[in-house]
Structure 1
Amino acid sequence: MASITFTVEQRVARITLERPSKLNAFNREMALELQEALDECAARPSIRAVYLTGAGKGFSAGQDLSEVVDPHGPGMDRILKEHYNPIVRRIFRLAKPVVAAVNGVAAGAGANLALCCDVVVAAASASFVQAFSKIGLIPDSGGTYFLPRLIGWQRASALAMLGDKVPAAEAERMGMIYKVFADDVFAEASWALAVQLGDMPTRGLALTKEALQQSFHQTFEEQLHLEDILQQQAAGTEDYREGVQAFLEKRTPVFKGQ
């Protein structure tokens, strides 16, 4: 792969966006390669968590606009359908936790790619920008879905329209992301978080992810019913049995993701 790197370590797939000279702005090649990598994550049971980050100084500056104006490029009519929507759908539906490790600026589609992940952490020097309004566009890649749910209607509306730059600490304060790490420990601390998730009961985490996603659309009673269904599935896993046995034996459980 030319535009991303993909490795597997300690049960975690490490995906790095690799266009640092462009602040990891997306072109068609990168988008399709990321889709391929996410498909690999879904297909391999030995992969139990995903760690997504960017090379160099940025996480992702969003769309490479030079591709949009290229008469031989995919054009705006194909970019969402073939590039970003397939990516965020894969992350949203992946039955494994996905950590976005935002190492620098995350702008436009790059910001919303991060926000669709299950756990979003950022370096102290990172920032988030809904840059779409600056060029007359609307937030895409799930931005209009995730932002109001994460930070509320008013903040989401203001950020989408004004395109303010949100420093990592402010993003954490308003609930946009989970946690901020100091720059000098960010790489190590964010990776440790992904490894921790990779050691946990994968099926139970996937069911948790499903329950949280469904809660946006259901009544209280419907959600209680769903929790009952998913809990029975979780209780049927090998990891549940190991977790209970380890608790009774006062030892650390060894989960297998099954």
Structure 2
Amino acid sequence: MTTFEDITYNLADGIVRIAVNRPDRLNAYRNQTADELREAIVLAEAEGTARAVLMTGEGRAFGSGYDLSTVRPDEVPALDDVLERHFNPLVRAMRQCRLPIVAAVNGPCAGAAVGIALAADIVLANRSSYFYEPFVGIALVPDAGNTLFLSRILGRIRASGMMLLGDRISAEKALQWGLLWEVVDDAELESAATAVCTKLAQLDPEALAGTKRLIAAAADFATEEQLDLERDLQGEAGRSPAMKAKIAAFFAKRKG
């Protein structure tokens, strides 16, 4: 039986529930987290009785982005390698999975977590949640599919404002902009997402898989090229003096 450290995995009534389980870090992703999420998606697809996947975060956050504490203060992070080996394979696995994936966004959803949430097929959020693109503020560029999904869902102007300015986007605004299927009260998120998964689980799996494939063919064109471009430009940004200064400031703040 597969065991995980950074996530929880449970299959019941045809629904695979996968949740990032690092609540003390607001579910910040380290490389292992992305690897385990990808492995869980592959495992879910192989389950004979699985019909839908619910992805969320344990505690009070969906995900606070990449865990910078995993980078040493004196290290020049090879973020292009991180994307190539860990995060891009996760995004690809989600988009290529035959099972419909429902993301239940609870609380903060920042950085890479935004791209991972939007790689799902249906996205719900609770009212206290928000979406946040911190990349430029720490001398980086958006990654994990963010530039792909946000630009196609929001259009160039709103996507530019969200990613360049780094303002927090409330769940209600995200709904208005078309990032979300539904916003529900905080206490109702899990049940609402489960209800969507239950409905999907009762539908013909081949029809669901075929529909998902058709949507991907229409909406996911040039995905590989965009993920590769994010990887390359993030690698350059990660080696810049500005990023090195931001990492030093991050650790200085933690010590203070």
TM-score of the two chains, using structure 2 as the length reference: 0.81
1:128 to 123, 126, 131: 131
Q: What's the counterpart of residue 144 of structure 1?
A: 147
1:114 to 117, 133, 143: 117
Give the residue type in structure 2 aligned to 1:112: G
Q: State the secondary structure of the residue aligned to 1:131.
A: coil
2:15 to 9, 12, 37: 12
Aligned pairs for 1:9-158 (under 5 A) are 9-69=12-72, 75-158=78-161
Q: What's the counterpart of residue 221 of structure 1?
A: none
Within 2, Cα distance between the matches of 1:195 and 1:68?
A: 40
Within 2, Cα distance between the matches of 1:196 and 1:137?
A: 40
Within 1, Cα distance between the matches of 2:22 and 2:76?
A: 18
Q: What's the counterpart of residue 186 of structure 1?
A: 189
Counterparts in 2 of 1:187 and 1:129: CA distance versus 1, 3 Å: same
CA-to-aligned-CA distance 1:49-106 (integer Å, 9 cap, x gap)? 1000001110000100111336689742321011110110000000110000001110
Contact 1:12 1:47 survives alignment (8 Å): yes
**Identity rate, percent:** 37
Give the residue type in structure 2 aligned to 1:29: Q
Contact 2:31 2:87 survives alignment (8 Å): no
Q: State the secondary structure of the residue aligned to 1:176.
A: coil
**Structure 1 unaligned residues grouped into runs of 5+:** 219-258
Q: What's the counterpart of residue 2 of structure 1?
A: 5
Which piece of structure 1 moves more, 61-70 or 113-122?
61-70
Q: What's the counterpart of residue 171 of structure 1?
A: 174
Within 2, Cα distance between the matches of 1:200 and 1:217?
A: 24
CA positional deviation for 1:135: 0.6
Q: State the secondary structure of the residue aligned to 1:24.
A: coil
Q: State the secondary structure of the residue aligned to 1:51.
A: strand
Give the residue type in structure 2 aligned to 1:92: R
CA-to-aligned-CA distance 1:33-59 (integer Å, 9 cap, x gap)? 112111101212311110000011100
Contact 2:8 2:18 survives alignment (8 Å): yes
1:202 to 201, 205, 211: 205
Q: Is residue 207 of structure 2 the alignment partner of residue 212 of structure 1?
A: no
CA-to-aligned-CA distance 1:190-213 (integer Å, 9 cap, x gap)? 111112111211111111111112
RMSD: 1.7
Contact 1:49 1:98 survives alignment (8 Å): yes
Q: State the secondary structure of the residue aligned to 1:200.
A: coil
Q: State the secondary structure of the residue aligned to 2:135.
A: helix
Give the residue type in structure 2 aligned to 1:111: V
TM-score of the two chains, using structure 1 as the length reference: 0.80
Within 2, Cα distance between the matches of 1:31 and 1:186?
A: 23
Contact 1:121 1:177 survives alignment (8 Å): yes
Q: What's the counterpart of residue 241 of structure 2?
A: none
**Structure 2 unaligned residues grouped into runs of 5+:** 222-256
Within 1, Cα distance between the matches of 2:138 and 2:55?
A: 27
Contact 1:13 1:50 survives alignment (8 Å): yes
